[in-house]
Structure 1
Amino acid sequence: MTYPFDCITDFIFVETEIAPADVILVPGANHPQLMEKAASLYKQGFAPYILPSGGYKPHVGTTEWNYLQNIGIENGVSEAAILKEDKTPYELPGGRLEEFESFLEGLRREVHEETGLHVTMVFGEETKIETNDEDSNVEAMKPFAVYQTINGPVDSLGAYFRCQASGNLVKEGDETEDIKWISVDELHSSLEKNLIDFSWVDKSGIIYYLKWYYMQKQKM
């Protein structure tokens, strides 16, 4: 069953506070336990539908959506209650940091896992400092931009980094498919003509970058 994403108005995101809603959102197959939790919430009557992520996981040999769908069915969810987006929007490479992982380590790991590329330069890396105490280490640095959701399915805070990378794009990465480069001008034109769409979080980062990019061009 497909379901246009913009028709869903009330969400449960399985990692946040739980309340009755239209649908339960489930991210990535790296965390199948979240689908199990979603199945439990579904059976408790919190929402009539579950919407899993739709990327690709090569190590399980199937699409991520099918992988999560199977977990849901195994845990008592009706097949008709597991939704599939009509069209999955593009996302920038990224993800959550592992416990006590540094910004740069996490950045390089996520980019390589999802695209096959190796980050060779991070603009702003020279601003990084570390404080080391007897029982703690803390880093601080200047990212390209930060974001905070002020409405939406989940409260989220994150950072964007501007990088250079080398290597060859993989056909399918960790939770990713249809990986591609796109020029800045083509990106700008495609967004204006609604020929391309980005996830609700990454769209703000893309627009912020385009504004910065064209301001820099005007200064030249």
Structure 2
Amino acid sequence: MELLTKPAVGGIIEKNIDGLDYILIQDRFKDNAKLEYGLLEIPAGKIREFENIFNCLRREIREETGLEVTYIKGEDETVILETNGYKVLNYTPFSCCQNIQGTYPIMVQIFICNADGELLNGTNETKNIRWMSLIELKELLEDDKSLFYPMHIITLERYLKTMLKY
């Protein structure tokens, strides 16, 4: 039987508090991934069959954090083509990453977004959901990458380079 990589979407949720830039970070606690317990991650999840990727991002962020997405960078540039019985969504994410070795075959397309609402205390997959300043995030990544879920490290470093100009 052929095994396939699972498509997923993730969100870097931005927020400015008193002139400082933050993103939402959470601790990973998935029952089917006990080796990853406590790793820092951004909200992400699998795309359902024929689910619009932007609707999936909204759903996953709401389920994992309690927040409602108000803006997704690039969504307004999306093109939809309907022809020959197909409806195709064309879009450009901020970053894409794929596990090509390890325990979980997944490919994640990550978008930058904004969201409003009250944060959950945690879910059955996440704990310690919080806003982390970009300065603190940069320091943590530089000090110890092993604190982070591997799928998100390069994307977060790329994001910090664009935001902090380092």
State how far apart, in whole Å, the 2-side matches of 1:94 and 1:85 are.
18
State how far apart, in whole Å, the 1-side matches of 2:81 and 2:35 are.
45
1:79-98 aligned at under 5 Å gives the runs 84-85=34-35, 88-98=38-48
Aligned to 1:187: 137
> Counterpart of 1:164 in 2: which secondary structure?
strand
State the structure with more CA Rg: 1
1:124 aligns with 2:74: yes
1:159 aligns with 2:109: yes
State how far apart, in whole Å, the 1-side matches of 2:34 and 2:91 are.
39
CA apart distance, 1:189: 1.2
Structure 2 gap segments, 5+ residues each: 5-27
Q: Which has the higher helix share?
A: 1
Aligned to 2:164: 214
> Counterpart of 1:138 in 2: which secondary structure?
strand
* Root-mean-square deviation (Å): 2.7
1:19-30 aligned at under 5 Å gives the runs none
What is the aligned counterpart of 1:197 among 142, 147, 154? 147
CA apart distance, 1:16: 4.2
CA apart distance, 1:191: 1.9
Structure 1 gap segments, 5+ residues each: 1-14, 18-53, 56-63, 69-82
Aligned to 2:65: 115
Aligned to 2:85: 135
Residue pair 1:190, 1:196 contacting (<8 A) in 2 also = no
Residue pair 1:16, 1:154 contacting (<8 A) in 2 also = no
CA apart distance, 1:87: 5.0
Query: Could you tell me the percent identity over the aligned residues?
Result: 32
**1:108–1:86 CA distance, 2 compared to 1 (3 A):** closer
- State TM-score, norm by structure 2: 0.74
